[in-house]
Structure 1
Amino acid sequence: MDTTSDSLPDDLASAHAMIRAERARRLAAEAAQSDVAALVAHLKLQIEKLKRELYGSRSERKARLLEQMELQLEDLETAASEDERAAENAALQTGAAPAFTRKRPARKPFPDHLPRERVVIAAPESCPCCGSTRLSKLGEDITETLEVIPRRWKVIQTVRERFACRQCETITQPPAPFHVTPRGFAGPNLPAAILFEKFGQHQPLNRQSERYAREGIDLSVSTLADQVGAATAALAPLHTVIEAHVLAAERLHGDDTTVPILAKGKTITGHIWAYVRDDRPFGGRAPPAALYYA
């Protein structure tokens, strides 16, 4: 940039315009640099995944490395989006077109199984150009917006009416609804959600209790632990059936994985033993299954 006195503006408005234009160019350059960094991280991650697929490396260290690379890519993508927005806002202030736009992959269409809510914008009653009311529909454009419905809590009141026989004075009443915990209060979806968060999403019960409290539901850690124990006992027969099916296989694949476990004041090493039955590569018709011991 030429900083001689001949190129500098004489009035304050022109100086402000020059500063805004220079700021827009700087932000565009930063956005381009962030996009290149995110692209490099994305390509490195893809290369590591391809190497893992080609050479069959399944070590725990390699898996943790891929997870770290994915976290790094997430941070870079976020920073690149922030820089792009800043560059666009700066360009709007100068009245010029954005100097940089990120190249994004083509978005896949939303799944067909998602329900569609049709919102029709009211058509104009008259022509905005001449004011005529003789309008005919030529077609329509549909813009799809993905939305999420926040989790809702509800209390189901099961009413069991009591009746007395006027002839023999016998009192009858339907049985109480089934709960996983004897004399419990939780419907079937609640224990399922607690188990999935704990074992599928690795969310400890104390964090679940804190999140429920922010949603206005008071469920202590001990209450959640009771639900986990009751659900585990209820699922024990299913585990027994899967265990018998897996161990009856002619070919059984086993693996021993060590995991760190937080104990009192220290971390100890735990073990997870996995046994897999899969006869499909050998022409077997038995359904595949996996069995875990910890």
Structure 2
Amino acid sequence: MAAVSATALAFTLAGLVGATGAQAAPQAGAAGQASRAADVVQRATGTADIARSTAGAGGATAQVPKPGGNVVVTAPATASGSVAVTAANGSTVTLALPATTGAAGVTTAEGTTVYPGAARGTDLAVQATTDGGARALVTLKDSSASTEQRFDLGLPDNTRLVPAKGGYDIVQNGASGAAFSMGHIDAPWAKDATGKSLHTGYRLDGNTLVQSIETDKNTAFPVVADPKWTWGWVTGTVYFNKNETGHVAADSAFLGVVFAAAPPPFDVYGILNAANISRVAWNAQNDNQCVEIKIPTFQAYEYSGGYCN
């Protein structure tokens, strides 16, 4: 049997469309490897939220409509490349696959691109999702595969990661100084082939996202693991540091400046909730903490650490 570990993924194989990029059609052996690699992921996850991708010379691309414009998700033509999620304004978050070979990608009819044999004992896969995100799946085929996977992140300027719900908010400074969560890296999950959940988690090593998966002698291989992330619109949380919290506490009109740059409807709702946000900011200032606003409810809370400095 096999074991599967992943963070958030879904798909089932309905047949191979062809190689990603301008490549010759794979031979039966290669097609069989790709089909098996995709099937392992599919059986562990399903296909409900995969965005259809179109294979081309530069990789497999999906365009997902979101407020403010399309988000474009690109899976690289080979495993040595990077997955990219690009917002309508052109800003991009990239994630390099943990490959040691340049295995060619093959895109399934459902939109999953697989890279068989991308590293020792390891297959990789990429999916665009209907929420404008991407999944980078790692299948550990046997015990020879590394249980620590490293994904180098490429973030836009003035962007940082803030721990949130077992994953990370991708936070970008706004023109007013407040930090908008413009995307999110979901908390990881892991399962083996019997459906048993495996312990897995993230840590950051500089700009590298490191996922560790715990296996033992009872683990049924292969194991599938994948970071999922979104990028390109205000989602999750707006963070204020101590200085900005003081501005919000003293003058709720400051929020008009903060949310003026946010895409609709966040600009309007932020201003409508200004009085309550200002009240929470006043309490946070007295507690030597900061204020954060949860989207889309626009409820304000006190917090400490992270961006609160």
TM-score range, shorter chain: under 0.3
Higher helix share: 1
Larger radius of gyration: 1
Scaled by the length of structure 2, the TM-score of the pair is 0.18
Scaled by the length of structure 1, the TM-score of the pair is 0.19
Higher strand share: 2
